[in-house]
Structure 1
Amino acid sequence: MSTDRMKLLEERLAPLAPTYLEIIDESHLHAGHAGSKGGASHFRLLIWTEQFEGLTTLARHRLVYDRVHDLMPYPIHALAIVAKTNP
């Protein structure tokens, strides 16, 4: 199930044309947390793209959340984001 959700995140973020994308499932770290009840997932997202150039951290996060907002709070309860421009 987690793999399907990770694949869905990849598909949703593809329009941002990331040069680097890593999705880490951290759901096991939140076992017993209220947000994990019902099987909602917790992910850490590392994404690098030229589309973040000149944007604040908040604006970068908004771009990401705009792509995945309908997946929250279920099937994804939490998404920790590291959003950078290309090195």
Structure 2
Amino acid sequence: MSYATRIRTKLAEALAPERLEVVDESARHAGHAGSRPEGETHFHVTIVSAAFAGRSRVERQRMVYSLLADELRERVHALGLTTLAPGEGG
């Protein structure tokens, strides 16, 4: 299973998002620290979930990092996040 699929699956199961986008940005980081020729090292995730309501940006990010701890430890070098509650802009 690809890392993008793993990320998507874990976040979907744990946070029941209204919107979830997982973008592999690895090609934009070729030659940078942590990059690999086969990709799947740099991602940006946009997620809208009711689970984020009433939580700070830092709390939301910690939730996601906790869910993706294995992926971050194994291969994912960089993870950009946009974490929103329903009704928030972004």
**Larger RCO (CA under 8 A, 6+ residues apart):** 1
Cα gap change, 1:44 to 1:37, in 2 (>3 Å): same
- State the match for 1:58 in structure 2: 58
Give runs of aligned pairs for residues 1-80 of structure 1, distance below 5 A: 4-14=2-12, 15-37=14-36, 39=38, 41-80=41-80
Identity %: 36
Q: Residue type of the partner of 1:29?
A: R
Give the 4+ runs in structure 1 shifted more than 3 A.
37-40
SS of alignment partner, residue 61 of structure 1:
helix
Which consecutive unaligned segments of at least 5 residues does structure 1 have? Answer: none
* Structure 2 unmatched runs, 5+: none
The worse-fitting range, judged by mean Cα deviation, of 68-77 and 13-22 is 68-77
Higher strand share: 1
What is the total number of aligned residue pairs between the two structures?
A: 85
Give distance in 2, aligned partners of 1:42 and 1:25: 6
Cα distance in 1 for partners of 2:28, 2:37 equals 15
CA-based RMSD: 1.6
One-letter code aligned to 1:22? E
